[in-house]
Amino acid sequence: MNDRPASGPGARHLTAVPDPVSGPETAAGALPQPAFEIAAGHAFAGPALDLGALMWEGRCLPDAQVLLPLSSLTRHGLVAGATGTGRTRTLQLLAEQLSAQGVPVLLADVRGGLSGIAEPGEAGTGVTGRATEVGQRWTGAGRPTAFHRLGGAGTGRPVRAPVTGLGPLLLARVLGLDAVGEEALARVFRYTDAQGLELVCLDDLRAVLTAAGTPAGPGRPGGVSPVAAGTILRAVSAFEERAAADDLFGEPVCGAADFLRCTADGQGLVSVLRLDSVRDRPHLWTAFLMWLLARLCDALPVIGDVGGPRLVLLVDDAEPLFTGASPAFLEAVTRTMRLVRSKGVGIFFVTRTAQDVPADVLEHLGNRVQHAPRAFSPEDQEALRATVRGFPESAYDLGEVLAGLGTGEAVVTVLGERGAPTPPAAVRLRAPGSYMGPLAPDALTQHAERSGPRPAPARPRGDGTGTGPGAKITRSLFGTATTTGRRR
């Protein structure tokens, strides 16, 4: 919960002392001059998230709070750091503070450790000690949460997409097709679009491809050769053997409005998309995640720069989104990030290092929370130097500070209310108020049952004709489709 005073520049009143001072003689509230300048750069007048307290020369300064303005969240962000440094808890802290300020959150939970946001945290020595250090009035509090799942396994409302909705680029990623197979699939989609055919499930796609490979077929739809059609058919069969395709493809259960809800008392709903059951199939969940983002973008009007976001997407363990991605896919990701900003949607990725993110994507991530890297090998040392070069000019020796960060500590720079980057600040982060860990299965089931109305039965199988329910189809972003004028 945001517990900053209502008056002042968005933080406690700060007082500078001429030179860095340590020891008991330092006056209460007085800061060394360099720390004062850094803290002043992170104090904002408008609504903001409280990240934690500034650290300077090994001391935590609770009178110097480091903030992230709500108005900057659509400039996107990156939370980076080695495993075990607290980056997932930083994501949890962001989610619960956004919810408290009335901003809905879509939380992509790749490892299954974020479901605890639905229940209050447990007070303990670590939590209360951290709260005292950073000047936080800690109270255990869960957030209003809805649970969704991808695929047949797991708990929550299923997220499904029609084959037509994914489009050729994302479906090729799901099926593991190379560039040649992706182009052949694109031709099939152009043919079905021209005919006004919606492919609901893989059986519908199989029907069109089978027709393309037979003498009696309709002139090889889209000019797809029998050899290319056979390649795609084999990829479809292999995918069905590996994944629970019956609950992945079909009429969508969730619309954009499901992720944009607030409670009666003004808290933003945290929609947790549980991806742990498909974590070992990264091309699958990353494709569906980007389809969902494209669907949200298509449904939302342009609002430009506003005082705060209408939705924030937080993606834990986002490296698979970029690993092995085709140039066309990365270009679509970059284009999407530009477009969703104008729709009032912010995106934060969690990765091991900033080098896991392509440069074209990284330049759109205006907010940075860098936890400790691990620099044991020469390659790690070079990555650390590259990380330091990615920050604005700093009063710290950033290489030394980053190497010495403990769990739950980070170097932070954000875009201020005027769009300028703030000076890097070493921060001891606040403790989340919600439970830090996964919920027990029974508790998770109870929360999931309250996530919303029971979804309609899936339509996992088409009628085998490849026609599906006809529709007028338009494409945008990843080539994903929106349909209108559906015929039955």
CA nearest neighbour of 402 among 55, 108, 49, 115: 55
Query: If pLDDT is split at 50, 70 and 90, which confidence band does 125 have?
Result: confident
Query: If pLDDT is split at 50, 70 and 90, which confidence band does 477 have?
Result: low
Per-residue pLDDT tens over the stretch 211-267: 765 544 445 566 788 888 889 999 999 998 876 666 788 887 778 888 999 999 999
Tokens standing for 68? 């992230």
pLDDT for 16: 57
pLDDT greater than 90 at residue 370 = yes
Integer Cα distance of 202 and 209 in angstroms: 10
Q: How many whole angstroms from its chain centre is CA 462?
A: 32
Give me the amino acid identity at 1: M
Q: In what order do the strands lie in the sheet with 270-274?
A: 59-69, 48-56, 425-429, 409-413, 367-370, 77-80, 345-351, 311-315, 105-109, 270-274, 145-149, 157-158
Q: Could you list the beta-strand ranges (E) of 159-280.
A: 270-274
- Tell me which H or E stretch contains 238: helix 226-242
pLDDT greater than 90 at residue 151 = no
pLDDT greater than 70 at residue 275 = yes
Residue 334 · residue 365 · CB < 8 Å: no
pLDDT greater than 70 at residue 458 = no
State percent of the chain over pLDDT 70. Answer: 82
When the pLDDT of each residue in the chain is averaged and rounded to a whole number, the result is 84
Across the range 273-277, mean pLDDT stands at 89
Across the range 124-141, mean pLDDT stands at 92
Position with higher pLDDT, 100 vs 151: 100
Per-residue pLDDT tens over the stretch 292-347: 998 888 888 988 777 789 999 999 989 999 988 888 889 989 999 999 999 999 99
pLDDT for 380: 78
State percent of the chain over pLDDT 90. Answer: 54
pLDDT for 26: 39
Residue 243 · residue 151 · CB < 8 Å: yes
pLDDT for 227: 87
Across the range 174-187, mean pLDDT stands at 91
Place of tokens 């340590």: 22
pLDDT for 76: 96
Query: If pLDDT is split at 50, 70 and 90, which confidence band does 486 have?
Result: very low
Across the range 152-156, mean pLDDT stands at 74
pLDDT for 456: 39
Per-residue pLDDT tens over the stretch 7-39: 333 444 465 554 443 333 333 457 889 999 999
pLDDT for 325: 85
DSSP 8-state secondary structure symbol assigned to residue 365: -
Residue 12 · residue 65 · CB < 8 Å: yes
pLDDT for 108: 95
Tokens standing for 475? 């494409």
Tokens standing for 373? 């890297």
Across the range 428-438, mean pLDDT stands at 95
Across the range 363-383, mean pLDDT stands at 88
pLDDT for 61: 95
pLDDT for 31: 85
Position with higher pLDDT, 166 vs 223: 166
- Tell me which H or E stretch contains 341: helix 327-342
pLDDT for 1: 45
Query: If pLDDT is split at 50, 70 and 90, which confidence band does 287 have?
Result: very high
Residue 412 · residue 391 · CB < 8 Å: no
Integer Cα distance of 228 and 213 in angstroms: 9
Integer Cα distance of 211 and 465 in angstroms: 9
Residue 295 · residue 289 · CB < 8 Å: no
pLDDT for 463: 42
pLDDT for 383: 84
Count Cα atoms within 13 angstroms, Cβ side, for 410: 29
pLDDT greater than 50 at residue 194 = yes
pLDDT for 451: 64
pLDDT for 453: 46
Position with higher pLDDT, 182 vs 460: 182
pLDDT for 213: 54
pLDDT greater than 50 at residue 138 = yes
| Cβ contacts of 440 within 8 Å, gap of 6 or more | none
Integer Cα distance of 22 and 114 in angstroms: 39
pLDDT greater than 70 at residue 372 = yes
pLDDT greater than 90 at residue 435 = yes
Across the range 77-99, mean pLDDT stands at 95
